[in-house]
Amino acid sequence: MDLTLPSPEATRRFGEALAGLLRPGDLVLLHGGLGAGKTTLTQGIGQGLGVRGHVASPTFIIARTHRPSGHGPWLVHVDAYRLGSLDELEALDLDTSLEESVTVVEWGEGLAEVLSEDRLEIALERPHGGIDGRGELVDDAPRHVTVTAHGDRWAGVDLEILRDGA
């Protein structure tokens, strides 16, 4: 599935809609350059799951765990940017929380796919149009999003309904 999200707010809404499809044990891998909207999308997922607290980038601590406000799943938010190997990823012990949580991994391409055959991979691309005439980043530039489902978990799930939430 491909779509364009016109703003950060639309990216959050898309994440919120996606949360409605997610359940404990789901793995979501987010790919895209700096400023593409990976953390913004994860904030929407957190909002949709009803987790407590602010969802912020776990860049320097590698992984953050967010408790649900109610009976929903926990959100485990991982930033794999600084991880250099599968051994470092395995040292995080993510597989112990995979069954009970929704796990979102930023920068996991080429590394985190081994965590589960059943996963969603979401590529976010921010066109160079995100730079204004002064060379400054414009936060409301559109993002191109590609969602790819892998594994039996996602067979038959209609991801097209996510368009309505975007």
| Sole residue written with tokens 């987790």 | 51
pLDDT for the residue numbered 51:
95
Give the mean model confidence (pLDDT) for residues 105-116: 82
Grade residue 151 by pLDDT with cuts at 50, 70 and 90. Answer: very high
Ordered by where they begin, the domains of the chain are 2-128+150-165 (3.40.50.300)
What is the Cα–Cα distance from 8 to 120, expressed in whole angstroms?
20
DSSP 8-state symbol, 7: S
What pLDDT shows up at residue 20? 95
- On the 0-12 / 13-18 / 19+ scale of CB atoms within 10 A, 57 is middle
**Could you tell me the CA-to-CA distances from 73 to 103, 109, 147 in Å, in that order?**
10, 24, 22
Which of 88 and 75 is assigned the larger pLDDT? 75
pLDDT per residue as tens digits for the range 125-144: 986 555 556 666 666 678 99
Residue 14 token pair: 């898309």
Ramachandran region, residue 45 (left: φ > 0; alpha: ψ -120 to 50; beta: rest): alpha
Q: What is the mean pLDDT of residues 97-109?
A: 83
Query: What whole-number distance in Å separates Cα of residue 157 and Cα of residue 84?
Result: 33
The band of 99, judged by pLDDT with boundaries at 50, 70 and 90, is confident
Mean pLDDT of the chain, nearest integer: 84
Q: How far is CA 113 from CA 88, 92, 106, in A?
A: 14, 15, 12
Residue 156 backbone zone (phi > 0: left; psi -120 to 50: alpha; other: beta): left
pLDDT computed for residue 146 by the predictor = 96
